Amino acid sequence: MKVSEKLISKADFPVFEKYKDLVYLDNSATQQKPRQVLERVEKYYREENANPLRGLYDLSVKATDAYENSREKVREFIGANSTKEIIFTRNASESLNLIAYSWGRANIGSGDEILVAISEHHSDLLPWQLLAKEKGAALKYLDCDKYGEYKADDLKKALTPQTKIFAIAQISNVFGRVNPIKEFAGICHKNGTLIVCDGAQSVPHIPVDVNDLDVDFLAFSGHKMLAPMGIGVLYGREELLEKMPPFLSGGEMIEYVTRDGATYAELPHKFEAGTVNVGGAVGLAAAIDYINEIGFEAIEKRENELTELAFNEMKKIPYVNIIGSEKAEDHHGILTFTVEGVHPHDIAAIFDADNIAIRAGHHCAQPLHQHLGVQSTTRMSLAFYNDEEDIKRFIETLKTIRRRMGYDG
């Protein structure tokens, strides 16, 4: 096994230099950026910036290389067969919308069924809800138990001959649990059903190989994995993408346009309308380099250790209730919880007063909250650049919450 070339270092992240006292535990919402990523993006704008793909001069060739090399880096990172399968989008949400608009409007009709896991983020739910409404298809949900677990048997029962597609996150942003995507993909494919994997929370944290998982589509966001905002990825199997109609149209995605019609460019360009975001793609590639240098082995080890530490300490506090699995190892850095008698907003406000950033609300998963019978929750989510001190500070504040809200003891 490859030994990491680079040690984990908080000092790489300028935000913690600026705010020495900050404990950032909202990593599932967005991650902080290491200077290596910021510097690479800046270098792009200083030395390689031009409109790529069509330019016949040196700077534009540099921009094209920067862009296409980033695509190749993403391809390798998720084990896709070809760069034709890697579409750059704005974020995971746009990736998922692209599938629903392009594949969905061409393949879903009245009487068809779309199956969505109940824990899906709104971004992997609303596009399907809108599609189902528009086409007169049925939107069905696969429910999980209170530990956040989905059972293969339930999936088999939920699939019907009409089920065209199943959408599920590899890691839910509320539970932190890894869903058995590979097994589910097998079940879906046996039924002739496609599987969309929302990798927004998994790709940044565990090694993901689209061929091994055997998913048809995978969506994720750069900003949740050290990269700048405004860049995301859609992976799709080549045969599928090939047959899909274009989604956004405009410059750069055509072969030939006349007054009456157009022929579209080859993959992946067919799905990238308008001037592409080279700066974002380059930033994502630099983020992947950074992750690779540390290595997922070290990243997972650190994230699991910190999760376990936090989980065990939280378990000791009687009025704290952790949502989802009762085992630390099922949480992958995401610990969503409630505190008896205290509203999540107040919890977040008290944490903020102690300079600890966590999130409160429904985490863009309202149907899941309804399913679990809670109105809103508080979530701490960590990244490899967090440390034990962060967790200690988190636990210390957590212990004071009820007292500071006016409860005795």
Partner 1 sequence: MTDNFYGEVLADHNLHPLHRHELPCATHVCKGLNPTCGDDIELHLDIHDGVITDGSFTGLGCAISQASADIMLELIIGKSPDEARYYASLFHKMIEGKISDEELEELEEAGALQNVSKMPARVKCALLSWNTMEKLLNGGDS
Ligand X SMILES: Cc1ncc(COP(=O)(O)O)c(C=O)c1O
For the annotated catalytic residues, the residue numbers are 364
Q: Contact at 8 Å (CB) between 329 and 304?
A: yes
Residue 401, CB-side half-sphere exposure with 13 Å CA sphere:
29
> 125: which residues sit within 8 A by CB, 6+ positions away?
116, 167, 367
Tokens 């927004």, located at residue:
200
Nearest to 202 by CA among 237, 166, 165, 172: 172
> In this chain, which stretch among 96-104, 286-294, 299-307, 318-326 interacts with a copy of itself, using CB under 8 A?
96-104
Q: Tell me whether residue 19 or residue 407 sits nearer to a copy of itself (CB atom).
A: 19
Q: Which of residues 145-174 bind ligand X (CB under 6 A)?
A: 169, 173
Q: Tell me whether residue 123 or residue 325 sits nearer to ligand X (CB atom).
A: 123
Nearest to 251 by CA among 233, 268, 267, 272: 272
Site membership for ligand X, residue 119 (CB under 6 A)? no
Q: Which of residues 212-271 bind ligand X (CB under 6 A)?
A: 221, 251
**Among positions 9, 81, 211, 275, the unique one binding ligand X when judged by CB under 6 A:** 275
Give the number of other Cβ atoms within 10 Å of residue 369's Cβ. 19
Element (H, E) at 233: strand 232-236
Distance separating alpha carbons of residues 224 and 227, to the nearest angstrom: 7
Q: Tell me whether residue 93 or residue 397 sits nearer to ligand X (CB atom).
A: 93
Q: Tell me whether residue 312 or residue 370 sits nearer to a copy of itself (CB atom).
A: 370
Q: Which of residues 155-214 bind a copy of itself (CB under 8 A)?
A: none
Q: Tell me whether residue 36 or residue 51 sits nearer to ligand X (CB atom).
A: 51
- With CB under 8 A as the rule, give the number of residues binding a copy of itself: 94
Paired residues of 86 in beta bridges: 235
* Per-residue x/- track, 307-346, ligand X (CB under 6 A): ----------------------------------------
Give the number of other Cβ atoms within 10 Å of residue 340's Cβ. 12
- With CB under 6 A as the rule, give the number of residues binding ligand X: 17
**Among positions 258, 316, 318, 409, the unique one binding a copy of itself when judged by CB under 8 A:** 258
Distance separating alpha carbons of residues 112 and 127, to the nearest angstrom: 15
376 binds, among partner 1, a copy of itself, ligand X, none (CB under 5 to 8 A by kind): partner 1
Helix (H, G, I), strand (E, B), or coil: what is residue 357? strand
38 binds, among partner 1, a copy of itself, ligand X, none (CB under 5 to 8 A by kind): a copy of itself
